[in-house]
Each structure stands twice: as structure tokens, then as C-alpha cells.
With several copies, the nearest count.
Chain A
């Protein structure tokens, strides 16, 4: 019996859907892993919202330059054709819809595409939003990569988000360990199933009305 994807598998799966020539922002955490799996025969331009296009891999020990970091404050490198710009230009690039793809993590995604990924809403939690709300609306396609269930078994693809929202109706596709879900105006379409799960099984596990893509 084949199980669901592990985190590397999920990142790899997202990477396969990023086409040649795409301008892409990979969020902090699991989304960053996607860069490890980008097909080598595709030229893809990475954006980091702290002010750079053409970001290269994480810096090696002898390449570290503390003026050259990604949004997660990790030292990175610069590829030929890179450019630097200030924060107003960088977020204008996102808000203006110029990026092709943002890949984000999430606490919850609703079937209408609402995203919750910035704040647990806990009374004692210190809020910190950073670029999360800008990223949520910051690309032509917003992809979420997340495990389908929390550690205690709660489904994170939900009818309505209970966590504080990051953006409304902004998520296009959800890549999980069990399946890839396309969120469309007429419903949730299962694009691909991993391991031995079936769409019927997924519908039971999630309690959601799922539709299978024809063909």
C-alpha cells in the first residue's frame, strides 16, 4: 500500500507545475523547499519580497553576504540577470499582479479560496504578518502547499476558515500530501491523488464535497 507524499514529495510535486519562464515567489518554510526540486531544464526567476529578482540558491559557507538574504533572512546568492529594488517596488510588483506564482504555506484554506496562514488567533500569540497578506494577493496564481491534516487529525481544507484570514478567495490550488485540489468557483476539484487514496476516500476523510476532474 502506497502512503501519502512526504514533505519533499509535496515540494517536488509543486515544482513540476512551475513552467519555464515563470516569475515565482516561494514563501517561508515548506514552500522554500520547492526550489530544491525545480526542473533543471526550466529557467525560472525567483522573487524575494525583501527586494530581489533572480535569487539563486542558499549561500554556501564561503558565499555568505549578510546584505544578500531572502525573506526568511537566510543568506542566498545572486544569479546572472538579477536585479535589486526597494520594498515599495517589490510589493508593487506583487500587488500589481506581475508574479506568475506564489507558493505559500497555510494553517487553513477554505473551499472558496480563503487563506489563513498568518496568525493562530490565540489570545497570547503575538501577531506578525510580514508579507503574508501581500503574498496572498501577490500573483496570478496562488498555490498553497500544506499537509491536509493537522497533527491531531483536523482537516486544513475547510468549508470556512476558523483562523484569522490572510486573504479572501485568493488561493487557486492546494497541494497536499494526499491530493492536489483545484479551487474553482463551482467547487473543489481533485486534480491528482497520491498513494492509495481515492476521491471517495478523500471526500470521507475531509467531509468536503469533492469533484473529480473529468478525464
Chain B
């Protein structure tokens, strides 16, 4: 019987090696897989490349991973926030490489990586500093920039509910980057607020089919109890 359930966040992230590229879900703290990030911090892998929309908030989660010096490079759209002091300091000190990508282009590059598309022409950022050095093309009267796909060794994501096959559903705007990241990483690890019995997720409403999920772990329970299934 297939079961992708692992017993702890520590077990889930145990094999992440130094130098790995890791996608991390979340838009700010919504959808941020905080327990998996903390396990990764505890585990000790370093020289990481992180792909996330932001570059850490406050001093926990992704910010703590940055503060611990584990991250070599970050690919993101919006590093500078009111509470991004950890990133700001490292970046100003030249201790962190930054690849800045427009948010929609970041999402689309990750989706492309998951869907086997190598590159695509997008109108976003044409004529701006973020398109410098990139191939451009005039197609049907409009200018486009060629952007390539993003893939990763691991994706760490947070979902609302999951079953033993790894089918996942999310909660509200915490869905954000997780479905694409789940498809673009060799090993996708999901933390879920609640494990549910196989068959209790509505097949019409599954957002991430289990094929994309390699491991899932139930954490927390900070959320109010929810009714299983439909």
C-alpha cells in the first residue's frame, strides 16, 4: 500500500544535501511551511539556493535560515519588506546572491519547470532592467522577453489537508506558489495541517494530485478543527 506519510518534519528533510536548490512555498507567511524550514535549519544543510516569493520575514522561518548563513543565493520577486531586516543585512554585506524575478514570471517559470516547457516568451518586464541581457522578440505586434524554466531538487510546501497518496488541498490565499513548486521539484515535501483518509478529498477539488508529492507530514494543528472531506 502506498503511503507517503512520514512521521516528522525532521525525517522529511533528512536527505537535503549541501548545495541543493530548494523551492519554498508561501507569500509572506501565508503558506510558508514553517515547520519544514525549521527542520531544515536544524538539519544543517548549507550552500542552498532558495526559490521563494520573498526573502524572509522577521527572524523566524526563512529569515532564520538566512541568518544562519545556510543560503548562498535566493531567487525571489520581493525581498525588501518592512520586516526583511535579515535579508537586507546579508545582501548589503554581499553575503547573499539575489536573482530578482517579476512575481508572475517567477510563477510561470516554476510552472514551466513542472510542465516540461523549457522557456517561454512573456511580455512582462520588456524594456526594463529585469529584461537586460535576455533574448527578446516582437510577436504579433507586441514585444516579449524569453524566460527559462525553474526546477529544484526539493520543494517545501504547506497544504491544508492531504491523504496518504499525497493529494493536497490548500486554504484560501495560502495556496499561492505551492501547486507549481510541487510540480517543479524532484522531491516535493508537504506539511499538512491535517491528514485525511483516502477518499475523503473531493476528486474534483484536489489541487495538487498525489503524483507531485513525495512525502507529507502532519504538523501543528494550530488551525481550528475542520470537517473532513466535502
Contacts and interface: CB of A to CB of B under 8 A. Distances in A.
A177 interface: no
Contact of A81 (B91, B126, B129, B198): B198
A118 B49 CA distance: 25
B107 A88 contact: yes
Contacts of B177: 86-87
B19 interface: no
Interface residues of B, number: 72
Contact of A91 (B92, B104, B163, B212): B104
B225 interface: no
Contacts of B127: 165, 167-168
A67 B100 contact: no
B224 to A, nearest CB: 10
A81 B167 contact: yes
B116 A67 contact: no
B200 to A, nearest CB: 9
Contact of A92 (B77, B92, B123, B183): B183
Interface stretch (A48-56, A152-160, A189-197): A48-56
A81 B172 contact: no
B203 interface: yes
A17 to B, nearest CB: 18
Interface string A66-106: 11111001000010111111111011111111110000000
Nearest to A125: B80
Interface stretch (B6-14, B23-31, B37-45, B59-67): B23-31
Contacts of B102: 129-134
Contacts of A134: 102-105, 124
A128 B211 contact: no
A130 B103 contact: yes
Interface string A101-137: 0000000000000000001000010111111111001
B126 to A, nearest CB: 7
Counting chain B CB atoms within 10 Å of each CB, the highest count among A52, A65, A82 belongs to A82
Contacts of A39: none
Contact of B110 (A47, A65, A88, A167): A88
Name the residue in B2, B107, B128, B173 with the highest tally of chain A Cβ atoms < 10 Å from its Cβ: B173
A70 to B, nearest CB: 8
The 8 closest A-B pairs by CB, nearest first: A91-B104, A92-B115, A95-B116, A80-B199, A134-B104, A87-B107, A83-B206, A128-B80
Interface of B: 1-2, 27-31, 53, 77-81, 87-88, 91-92, 98, 100-108, 110-111, 113-117, 122-130, 143, 163-165, 167, 170-180, 183-184, 198-199, 201, 203-204, 206-207, 209-212
Given A93-B209, A126-B92, 5 more contacts: A51-B176, A73-B30, A86-B176, A126-B91, A133-B130
